[in-house]
């Protein structure tokens, strides 16, 4: 899969997305500075959310629309939350321009058909389907039909939900799909992360895979990379004093930079499948075992276990020759501490 100039998948660095979400606090200047800070922190991309309260829900205070599930937002109605958290559409062009100037890829999560149409007018390079929209099959179908890479969070999805979403994309001819393991809890407890699912998602659905993280800190993303995640998405905030619905589980610049560093370290540790030795390791091979003379011997004397041993360092014959050498004769006088070599041994 490729988003703008970035290849995503095996053999390429993990694609790290800073999620702006509501962390602009309703101030475009904060949004702009957040994008710049995300670049400094090492993000590859900045992601927006494109909706209004009216495209997500209706303004109602009936019990169905009140938040009371033990979240950070309990006491609000859905409409109140989304009205507070949304990113004004008139900001988008400016934010896309700032991201481009900073060298960041910018894209968004649409939440209805009008948002897709609006984002198409901005020529977005990819789309993200949010966890709670994975059941909105018409939205997924319409979004995938635009032929752009599509990233899908699986936070509230059962296996059959994921299968239907993936097949919906494929039915439009769009196979550029990445599934993100996600725990839709804010913040997400570590014991609910179930990161082993990342490997299973890749095998089961034959897509690229990644991790959308709502835990605290950098530990979960770095482990996710070791399990095959090729995209990491994490909420990013300029300053935790900003009043935002997502501030509690977002990383600031220093924290995000540390996460990026840990992810890159994890990638270095994973490396590639290789049985070749680096130049540094080759040099250290001299400390390996080899056959050495440990008792003085005379020319013509039969070599016994008293004469040779497998010891460090590695300047003598390979220890695999030990039994072959025993019983043969020295071709010259040898001293204790000499590395054993073929020219010391009568091969006849």
> For the CA atoms of 177, 180, 184, 188, what is the dihedral angle to 10 degrees?
-170
Q: Is the dihedral of CA 107, 40, 254, 228 positive or negative?
A: positive
Q: Which residues of the chain does CATH 3.20.20.70 include? A: 2-51+86-270
Q: What is the mean predicted confidence (pLDDT) over 43-71?
A: 90
In the predicted structure, residue 69 carries a pLDDT above the cut 80: no
pLDDT at 256 (0 to 100): 97
Q: Best-predicted range by mean pLDDT among 34-38, 156-160, 344-348?
A: 34-38
Q: What is the mean predicted confidence (pLDDT) over 137-146?
A: 98
101: enclosing H helix or E strand: helix 92-102
Q: What is the mean predicted confidence (pLDDT) over 133-141?
A: 97
Q: Do the strands 105-110 and 45-50 form a parallel or antiparallel pair, or are they unpaired?
A: parallel
pLDDT at 70 (0 to 100): 64
Total-model pTM? 0.87
Q: Long-range pairs for 54-60 at CB < 8 Å and ≥24 separation?
A: 55/111, 55/112, 55/114, 55/115, 56/82, 56/111, 56/112, 57/82
The model's pLDDT over 7-39, given as tens digits with 9 standing for 90+, comes to 999 999 999 999 999 999 999 999 999 999 999
- 2-51+86-270 carries CATH number 3.20.20.70: yes
Mean pLDDT taken over the chain: 94
The model's pLDDT over 78-109, given as tens digits with 9 standing for 90+, comes to 998 899 889 999 999 999 999 999 999 999 99
Q: Which residues of the chain does CATH 3.90.1210.10 include? A: 279-344
pLDDT at 133 (0 to 100): 96
Of residues 208 and 75, more confidently modeled: 208
pLDDT at 72 (0 to 100): 65
Minimum mean pLDDT range among 42-51, 81-90, 158-167, 303-312: 81-90
The model's pLDDT over 218-247, given as tens digits with 9 standing for 90+, comes to 999 999 999 999 999 999 999 989 988 788
Q: pLDDT grade, residue 183 (50/70/90)? A: confident
The CATH class that applies to domain 279-344 reads: alpha beta
Longest pairwise C-alpha distance within the chain: 103
pLDDT at 44 (0 to 100): 98
pLDDT at 71 (0 to 100): 62
């Amino acid at each position: 899969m490729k988003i703008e100039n970035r290849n995503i998948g095996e053999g390429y660095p993990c694609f790290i997305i800073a999620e702006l979400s509501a962390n602009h606090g309703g101030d475009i200047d904060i949004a702009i500075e957040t994008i710049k800070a995300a670049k400094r922190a090492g993000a590859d991309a900045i992601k927006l959310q494109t909706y209004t309260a009216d495209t997500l829900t209706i303004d109602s205070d009936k019990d169905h629309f009140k938040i009371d599930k033990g979240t950070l937002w309990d006491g609000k109605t859905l409409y109140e939350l989304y009205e507070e958290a949304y990113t004004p559409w008139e900001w988008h062009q400016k934010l896309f321009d700032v991201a481009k100037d900073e060298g960041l890829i910018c894209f968004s999560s649409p939440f209805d058909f009008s948002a897709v149409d609006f984002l198409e007018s901005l020529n977005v390079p990819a789309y993200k389907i949010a966890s709670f929209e994975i059941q909105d099959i018409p939205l997924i179908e319409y979004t995938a039909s635009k032929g752009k890479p599509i990233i899908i969070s699986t936070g509230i999805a059962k296996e059959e939900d994921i299968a239907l979403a993936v097949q919906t994309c494929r039915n439009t001819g769009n196979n550029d799909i990445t599934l993100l393991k996600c725990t839709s809890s804010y913040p997400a407890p570590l014991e609910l992360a179930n990161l082993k699912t990342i490997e299973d998602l890749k095998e089961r659905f034959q897509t690229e895979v990644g991790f959308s993280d709502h835990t605290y800190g950098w530990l979960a993303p770095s482990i996710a990379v070791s399990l095959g995640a090729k995209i990491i998405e994490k909420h990013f905030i300029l300053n935790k004093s900003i009043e935002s619905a997502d501030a509690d589980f977002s990383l600031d610049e220093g924290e995000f930079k540390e996460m990026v560093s840990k992810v890159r370290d994890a990638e270095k540790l994973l490396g590639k499948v290789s049985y070749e030795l680096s130049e540094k390791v080759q040099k250290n091979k001299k400390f390996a075992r080899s056959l050495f003379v440990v008792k003085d011997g005379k020319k013509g004397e039969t070599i016994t276990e008293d004469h040779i041993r497998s010891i460090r360092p590695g300047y003598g014959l390979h220890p695999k020759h030990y039994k072959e050498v025993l019983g043969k004769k020295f071709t010259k006088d040898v001293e204790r501490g000499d590395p054993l070599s073929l020219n010391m041994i009568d091969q006849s």
